[in-house]
Each structure stands twice: as C-alpha cells, then as structure tokens.
Chain A
Amino acid sequence: MKKYDAIVVGAGHNGLTNAAYLAKAGMNVLMVEKNDWIGGASVSRELHKGWIYSNCSYVCSLLRPEVFRSLNLQKYGLQIVPYGGSCTMAQNGDILGSYVDGDVDRREMARHSQRDADASVRYNRDIMRQCRFIRKFLLRMAPDPTSFKLRDLKEMFYLSKEFNKLGEDVIYDMMRFYTMSISDFLDEYFESPLIKGAYAGSAIIGSALGPMSPGTAYVLLHHAMGEVDGNMGAWGFARGGMGAVAKAMAGCFADHGGETICGSGVEQIIVKNGKVTGVALENGDEHYSDVVVSNMTFPRTFLECMDEKDLSPSFLKKVKHFKIRGSSGKLNIALDGLPNFPALKNNPELIKGDMHLIDSMERLERAYDDWKNGIWSRDPYIDMLIPSLTDPTMAPPGKHFMSVFVQYVPPKVKGKDWTDEQRDQFGQTVINQIEDYSPGFKKLILHAEVRTPRELENEVGLTEGNIFQGELTMDQLMFNRPIPGFAQYRGPVKGLYMCGSSNHPGGGVMAAPGANAAREILSDLRRTNTVPEGWLDD
C-alpha cells in the first residue's frame, strides 16, 4: 500500500505552491484535483476555439515575489508584464485616466480638481505606508493572541515591535484606516466624485460590503499591497493568461518529483483513530498519507469532504458560520475586433489598461444595495481589461479577449439558486452597460461566457462563489482566519492541514497561504524548511 509523504487536495495556486515547497524538501507528494485541468481560479481555458480566457482571476499583482523567486517560476515559463495605466469612464463621456508616470497622473487629476491632484501625493504616500507595514506579515504565520506558546509570544512581540516602529502618528492613522469605510477615508483627501468613485472600486472587489461600509479601506489595501517586478501596487498580465501561474508552479512541482492526478475530486478525507490516513476519491480510488493538506475552501473541506463524526459539534458550528458570500460575476468575451470607446478618443492608449465604469461613490453604493436585496446590481460596477492587447497569445491576430469583472452579484437570487435564464439576464445587463460606453460592442461578440457565483462554485469549488475563499473582514483576518484557534494552517485532526485562501493572509493570487502552510508542515515534520521568510524591505 503506497503511502505518500503528503497529499494536497486541490491544484489551485496555493495547493500548487504548497506541494512544490513540500516536494522541494524531498517529500513524496501527491496532488489530487477534481477538474481535468489544474489551476483552480488561476487558470487559462480555451472555451472558444482560438481564444484563451483567464476565465476567473485575470490579472496578477499579489503573487509574492519571494515565492516567485524561490520556486524559480520564470524557469517554468511564468512571465508577468505590468500593464500601464487605467481609466474610469463616466456616463457623461468624461474619463479619469490613471498613468504610471506620477506627473502625468497628477496632471490628469488636476483636470478634474487641482486640489485632488495635490492631495493625491499625500494619499499615495499614506497608502504605501500601510502597504509596507502589512507586507511584513504576509509570509508569516499569524500569532494566536490567546496562546502562551513561545512561537506565538515571539510573533506577538514581532507584531508589537513593528507596530511601535511606525511611530505614534502612523499608528493612529493605521487604527483609523483599518476601521473606516473607503468613502470616509477618501473624503479626507478628495473632493471630485469621479476620483473618489474611481479609487473606491478596488475597495469593494469580491466583498459583501459597499464603499460606505466600514472595513472597506482594508480591502483597498489588500489590492494595493502587491507588486510587479518591484513596482509596488502595480498589476500585470501573465503571458498566456493566469493559467501560466498554475502551469509554472506545476512545472516546478513536477521537476521536484511531484505527482498529480486530475479528473476526480475528493469524496472524503479518511480519518482513523483521530488521525488522517488519506483520501477517498469520488471515482472510488484511495490514496494514503499521514499528511493531508486541503486547498479547498474551509466550508468545503469540513462540511463536504469530512465525516461529521470526526469533528466536534462546536467546530462544525463555527465552520457553518464562516462568511463566504460571493458578490462577484464575470464575463469572458471573444471579440471579433477591438471595441471603440468614444470616451477614449483622445487617450487611446488607455484601452490597454484597466477600464472601470463608475461615476461616483453613490452609484457604487446603490449597486451594493441591490446585492443586499438579493439581486444582481441593475447598474453594476465593471472592471474590464483586454489582455490580448498586451499578450498576443490570447486571441487570433486582430481579434481580442476581453475580461469583464462585475460587482455586485449575489450567491443566490432572492434566496434561490441561480437559473440559466437569470444568468443570461445578468450577462445582458452587463453587455448592455458596456454597449452604452462602446456603441457597436455587441456586434463584435463572437462568444461570451457568463459566470455567476453558481458557476464559480460548481466549476472551481469556491463556496458561494466568494473569490477570496472567505470574506476579508476583521472577524476573518489574521488570527481570526478562518476561525480563531485554527488560524495556523493546522486542522482539528492530526495530520490535517489547510493551505488555501481561507487562511491567512487571504485571497487573491498571492501564494502566501500555500507557502505559510508548507512552512508549518515542514516544521511539524521536523524537515528542512524550504519556504523563504518575507525578505522584502524597502
């Protein structure tokens, strides 16, 4: 009976990262994946002949450079190209362009408000300060504040030491920042509704919160704390789509002797005498190991893949209360040519970057009100990109792939499961919206894949379609993620570990949860650590 040193369940990017680090340490690792393809939500799929869709995640920024470099991902083909600039298009035809060059960026802001252009210097400085602080904690396990174990005390000490290094002024700023809404936060810097609306967008991505909800300033931070090649806060395209990230990680994994089996999901994680002994797949096969690492979401792991008897009732109750409500939708569109946006006629280069359709905070907040009422936003927030303009491998010459990310989309419609008809209606809402900004857009559509939280859950296993494997609110971050007492990658059963985004530091294609979990597993097994500490300093 072959016994692996570890079995990783779910070949999403965190599972792949985790498996790669374990394999690098000389362990004999098996990865099992329910789909025929790997990557989870970091995936490239040819759903229309000739086109490659990054059909879930679509841009890269949060991927930890320590992981990129220590797993040597460029050797396995990963190439991330930053895209420069973005723009926000208003309904009256005006735009707010955003540029990499600070002076150009400010000149464009000044066109809307000179005061805001001046304030943006202070704003960027303040945001970057918060980013620099939080980045120190991404590749570290969160301490358990109730524990007196040496490891936890050391982490708490590190936390308070770093905190104090900030100085009184910045500590107050941070306390306010983590509890405020992005709307109130932006009000302290800016006056232009378009500028505020534009900046607020990244504060509500994937969230069950509106821009006026306290706690959204943190979500903005979560999206600003990445980088591409040292450019802090920059976002980029992976050549070949986000599947290239998974592919490179899988390449590294295989190179170190890792084995992957696709095509059948886990039916149950087998527990005997209070210890895991392996996994039973849906197709009947069984594989054995004393270490099982789940990259699945927290609820899916414990409510769908484990026997209730193996878990305590209080633990199960907390799993059931884990908040993982989806709020996002996606359209992946194959276009017969480049769409024309009249608003961009003086700035055509902005079509290569992020395009947002939002006018003001109020419009964004009303989109959220619809989500609260259990329907998709009638006037949704849209984040569109045309990766094929930067990466020619994604579509045939002259044709394009457009990725359209949408907030807000409820996990169920008025409490009931999505129907195909509703999905299509939602898709139409979005396409009609885009047509408003780009007359003739509809005629270019060769194929459109519409994804609601239902598709995300069914295809990728993301419970309720939440893209972060769990909401990013104070009750589910750091030492609370996924739940207090189980925020250190170890499950409630011996040998069971968790490495997905339901764990610290949370969602996005970051690879940090997978890496941090690997560090803990290797430490528990008393093997050499192959996972780097966070070494970024600037």
Chain B
Amino acid sequence: METKSQFSDRYLDLFAENREKIETQSADIMNSFRGEAIEKYGLLGIPAGKNEMYRYTNLDAFFMHEFRNYLLPVDEDLEKAEQFRCDVTDLDAHGLVLMNGFYPDLKHKLRELPGGVWIGSLKEASVKFSDLVDKHYGRYAKSESDGLVHLNTAMASDGVFVYVPEGTRLNKPVQVINLVYSKDDIFNQHRNLIIVEKNSEISIIICDHTLSPQKFLTNAVTEVYVGENSRFDIIRVQNEHNNAGKLTHTFIHQERNSHASSNNVTLHGGLVRNSTYHYLGGEGAESNSYGLYLADKFQHVDNYVNIEHASPRCTSNQLFKGVLDDMASGAFNGRIFVAKDAQGTYAYQKNNSILLTEDAKVYTKPQLEIYADDVKCSHGATVGQLDDNVFFYLRSRGIDQREAKLMLMFGFAHEVIQNINIEPLRERMDNLVMQRLRGELSRCASCMVRCG
C-alpha cells in the first residue's frame, strides 16, 4: 500500500493549468507560498493507505470524483447566500457569510468592528494589512507530513481574516457561516487567518452548511495566532449532507499564558476529517480541544488532534466523544508531544464512543511522545454500548426505553457541549443534538437542504 493516493497527480495538473488564473486574483503574499507548497504536495500527495495520520479514513471516494474546478465565484451561486439567515436566534454575533469559500457581499468584504478589530476577506486584508498578514501567513500551518495542507496553500485565494489588536476584548463572537451551494459538484479550498494580539479575547463560531444536494468537497486551512495572555475560542458546527466531504485543518499557535480552546461539533456529514493542532509555544499556555461526533448510515468522522508542548508549564486537555449508529464509523487519533524542555507539563486526553449497532465502528489511537521528565500525562479511551444499570435506573422512574436511551445519549454528548461558553449557542447546540439523536432533521431551520 502507498501513503499517497493514485489520484494525487490530478491536482498537480489542475494547479499547473490554473496557476496563472489563481495568481492574478490573489494577493502577492499568498502567491509567494504556492511554489514551495505545490512541490511538497507533489511529494506527499493525497493521503492514503499506509499514511499513519489518515489510516482510518479513505479519501479516494472524493478525490477520484470529477468536480467542477472551483476557483472563481459564480454570481448566481452568490445570490443564494443572501437568502440564508442563521437561526441561532439569540446569538448576537458579528456575522460573515462565505459562499463556496468566497464573499457574496462585494461591498463589505472587509469591515472594522469596535476596538479596531477587523473581519472579512483574507485576500483584501493581504493588501490592506500586508505587514500583518506577511508576519503570520503560512507560519503556523506547518504540517510537513500532510499533503492536503500544502494543496490548500498552493490553491486557496481567499477566506476569513480576523484581526484583534493588542488589549482588545470583543464582547460579541464572530460567526462565520460557510455555505456550499452549486448546481455542479464542486471542490472548494479556502484559507483563514486569525490574529489575536496580546491581552486580547475573541470567540469564533464557524458553521458549515450545504444548501444543495450536489457532491461537495471542502479542504480548508485555518491558521491562528494567540498572543501572550490572550484568550481564543473556536467552535465549529458541522451540519452537511451525506454527499459532502469536509476536511479541515486548524493550526493554533499559542504564546505565553494564552488560553485557547477548539470545539468540533459534527452533527452531520458524509465524510468529515478535522485536524486540530495546538502549538504551546510559551510558558503557562493552556489548550482545550473538544469534539463531538454523531454519525449514522455510512457517515465517517475522523478527528486528528496534535498537541505540541514546546514550552514548560503548559496544560492541555482533550475530550472527544461520539455516538455512532447504523454502519457509521469514527476515528480519533490524539497525539501529545512533549519537548525535552517542556518541564511541568500537564496533558490529558479522553475519547469515549458509544456504538449503537453491531456494524458501527470506531478506531481510537492515543499517541504520546514525551521527552521531558517532569510531566503529568494521562489518556483513556472507551468504546461501548449504553450501560444496562443506568438504563434500568431511568426506566425504574417511569421513563420508557426510547426516551431513556435518548437521555443517556444526550447526557453523554452534553459533556462536550457544556464547554461552549456562549450560552445561546450552547442551548442551541443542546437542542440540535437532541433533535439529531431523535432522528429528526437537525438542519438549522432556514436551511433549504434536508441533511438526512
């Protein structure tokens, strides 16, 4: 078996054919990374077979497909975005809507918020704030071994830019709504850059939706810089249909005494792979990575987490939980790397899955590499069915089997949801999870697509 998919070269050709087109519509900073990225992609390709990082996830069903190459936005697609309204009704957020990875609102691609915060198009920001972007772009997405990250660097031309200047606390979250809508099957790759300077605070919610039933593939890279004493939370809510593939790579670089959390909530999707990297680059930094995956039918959800303790006295915590029904499968791979000098490290990892059928599967793999001596590290994984004793306890209080099962699954999932610190979003997530577990549609109400 190869570590590289047989369909890898197809994207080298795609890049070669379109390089000029991509470069003319992109900023110089992003263009300056393309050459090296495509070379690395050429070596690594699309992960397959023996690639340890993607061992349990077969991407070929998507990469072998002939997508309409998606490099420029199409107006009629963009109009669709105007009709979309998110229904997290009480959520008071600064919203950004992306359609197929591009901005539908041509006039307000980049806008200023209170406190000198900027949100909007990365492409525009690369021109307006070229020094800033230059300082951070391409610095943190350093997965030498993942060809998909390099493919994104080679081909992406826009995405979300967020800048929070020093000493700024944004009291409302920023909500990014990624919509995918097209009459054709499309493959889109966007690129996000989030810069949180020191003593600042921001929460970002990323909602992924599909609005039409075509086959879609998204390969998105997000780079985050979290400065000294800053706090950064990112919550990803994935709710796409069974024919959609979602590959996300999030790199969070943390400075001294910073606090960052990531929470990947996968409610629905055909194939989902989330790679989350926390680099603890300064003393006293703390990271929390959470994930919840609910999958049924033939869905597959894979979470890869990589925590790098590069500095002393940092703390990291991972909690990933999933409920798998029908023939669904899940994978969790949590790597904790503790560098030689990272003394006083605390690192925890927990992965619990519930399998509702004989055919559901989950692969779980802890991966600990510890080179320091003074380290407290623990990991645990459980895979099981719902506990009979707990079941009986609920039934003995008059709750029927079906409701008892729902309550237990809900409680199981809530342990992840409760870490969302934006209350309306937490409540909304609880509701969506409940609906999802009840087998009702968990699409957000204004969405036109039936995800089931």
Q: Is A bound to B? A: no
* A residues neighboring B (CB under 8 Å): none
